[in-house]
């Protein structure tokens, strides 16, 4: 058996832990040959691969990024020629199946290739935690830890200067990172993509705290927007499956608040520090379980499914069921409700 492994889309902490677990499990359980495909689907389109063995996956559990590289632009489904070339390469490489580790965009491509006859197994990855059918993806816990630490840090400096401190998180159209880190990092205001905020409501919290506590910490997800307003787009990437990159909404909010407040308002956009660095122990464990589960699916000949975590149990769903979907924070989520009950403002009244 020859099995390809690739990591697609934006990187996140824990990818190497998956590569390691898939490889070790396939070597040990099936005696398979494991082929690492470089730079996501780009490597499959351009025939760039390398063998993965015990030695090449040794010592990578703790490291951030992906030893295989990744791409969030390469799309073998972009044209009939690209698809044909990709499938031809897979035949030349004598791949019996490919394990694709990625987010919704990667799953959409994996689904498309599976429909064209290339057996696929998906492993959900994203710091955004927004993959349908999977209650937690690895990388999320690490990102939450990073944002939580940042919130703690801005709190002490904000307290010293009596400032309004805004911290912008990643997460695209889902507010999971902002919600969890916002609660863990004691934010006074948490603004999510799922709840359009009223700037006047945010202003009222800051004014009240100006009198009472001098400082305010606001945690805002990059996909948040004011009522009746638009998303803040940082740039457009024409040749990507996800053509919009969000970013800068923290500065937009700062510009609106500053003239209306006595205190200084400062904004910090955390950006890619949330994606880098070593995975937390939780993410190492989850990624190892996901990788091993993917290898078990391959060993059983169960293809075109994505590994999932549902109610704390590993399982799998058809890739087509999750491809291109987005799992957002429900407005009745227990953490959101609890945060409201302890007085956190979500900027909606
Ligand atoms: O999906 C992961 C993610 O980090 C998002 O949170 C963010 O919006 C996007 O990727 C950034 O993409 P890029 O690395 O291409 O700027």
Residue 181, domain CATH: 3.40.50.460
Catalytic pick from 128, 141, 188, 283?
A: 128
Alpha-carbon torsion angle 77, 80, 84, 85, nearest 10? -80
In CATH, what number is assigned to the domain containing residue 61? 3.40.50.450
Q: What is the pLDDT, as a whole number, of residue 31?
A: 95
Q: What is the pLDDT, as a whole number, of residue 72?
A: 86
Task: Flag whether the pTM goes above 0.95.
Answer: yes
What is the whole-number distance in angstroms between the Cα of residue 172 and the centre of ligand 1? 7
Residues 131 and 183 both lie in one domain: no
* C-beta of residue 184 within 8 angstroms of C-beta of residue 142: no
| Number of domains forming the structure of the chain | 2
Length of the chain: 349
* Residue-number span of the structural domain to which 7 is assigned: 2-138+279-322
Q: What is the pLDDT, as a whole number, of residue 13?
A: 98
Q: What is the pLDDT, as a whole number, of residue 239?
A: 74
Which residue CA neighbors atom 8 of ligand 1 most closely? 172
Q: What is the pLDDT, as a whole number, of residue 324?
A: 80
Q: What is the pLDDT, as a whole number, of residue 314?
A: 97
What is the whole-number distance in angstroms between the Cα of residue 150 and the centre of ligand 1? 18
- Residue 254 domain-assigned? yes
Please identify, among 275, 296, 313, the residue that sits at the C-terminal boundary of a domain.
Answer: 275
Residue 171 Cβ < 6 Å to ligand 1: yes
- Residue 110 domain-assigned? yes
Question: Among this protein's residues, is 348 annotated catalytic?
Answer: no
Please identify, among 218, 244, 275, the residue that sits at the C-terminal boundary of a domain.
Answer: 275
Residues 82 and 106 both lie in one domain: yes
**Tens digit of each residue's pLDDT (9 = 90 or more) over 1-56:** 999 999 999 999 999 999 999 999 999 999 999 999 999 999 999 999 999 999 99
- Residue 111 domain-assigned? yes
- Residue 339 domain-assigned? no
Residues 283 and 134 both lie in one domain: yes
Residue 128 Cβ < 6 Å to ligand 1: yes
Residues 109 and 84 both lie in one domain: yes
* C-beta of residue 195 within 8 angstroms of C-beta of residue 331: yes
Residues 59 and 34 both lie in one domain: yes
Residues 122 and 160 both lie in one domain: no
Cα-Cα end-to-end distance for the chain: 59
- Residue 342 domain-assigned? no
Residues 23 and 134 both lie in one domain: yes
Can you list the residues of the chain whose pLDDT is less than 50? none
- Residue 89 domain-assigned? yes
Residues 60 and 112 both lie in one domain: yes
């Amino acid at each position: 058996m020859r099995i390809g492994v690739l990591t697609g889309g934006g990187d996140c902490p824990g990818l190497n832990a998956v590569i390691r677990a898939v490889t070790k499990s396939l070597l040990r359980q099936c005696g398979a040959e494991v082929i690492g495909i470089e730079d996501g689907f780009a490597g499959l389109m351009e025939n760039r691969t390398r063998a993965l063995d015990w030695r090449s996956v040794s010592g990578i559990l703790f490291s951030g990024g992906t030893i295989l590289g990744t791409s969030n632009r390469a799309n073998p489904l972009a044209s009939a020629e690209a698809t044909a070339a990709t499938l031809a390469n897979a035949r030349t490489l004598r791949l019996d199946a490919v394990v694709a580790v990625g987010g919704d965009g990667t799953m959409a491509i994996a689904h498309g290739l599976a429909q064209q006859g290339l057996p696929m197994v998906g492993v959900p990855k994203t710091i955004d935690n927004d993959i349908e059918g999977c209650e937690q993806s690895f990388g999320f816990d690490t990102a939450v830890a990073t944002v939580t630490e940042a919130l703690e840090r801005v709190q002490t400096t904000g307290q010293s200067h009596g400032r309004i401190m805004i911290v912008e998180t990643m997460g695209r159209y889902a507010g999971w990172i902002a919600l969890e880190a916002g609660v863990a990092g004691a934010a006074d205001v948490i603004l999510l993509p799922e709840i359009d905020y009223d700037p006047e409501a945010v202003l009222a919290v800051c004014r009240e705290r100006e009198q009472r506590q001098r400082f305010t910490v606001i945690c805002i997800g990059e996909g948040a927007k004011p009522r009746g307003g638009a998303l803040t787009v940082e740039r457009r990437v024409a040749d990507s499956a996800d053509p919009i990159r969000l970013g800068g909404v923290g500065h937009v909010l700062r510009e609106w608040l500053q003239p209306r407040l006595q205190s200084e308002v400062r904004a910090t956009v955390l950006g890619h520090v949330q994606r880098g660095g070593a995975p937390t122990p939780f993410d190492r464990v989850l990624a190892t379980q996901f990788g091993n589960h993917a290898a078990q699916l391959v060993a059983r000949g169960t293809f075109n499914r994505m590994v999932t975590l549902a109610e704390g149990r590993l399982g799998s769903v058809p890739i087509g069921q999750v491809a291109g979907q987005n799992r957002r924070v429900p407005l009745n989520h227990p953490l959101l409700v609890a945060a409201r009950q302890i007085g956190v403002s979500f900027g909606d009244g």
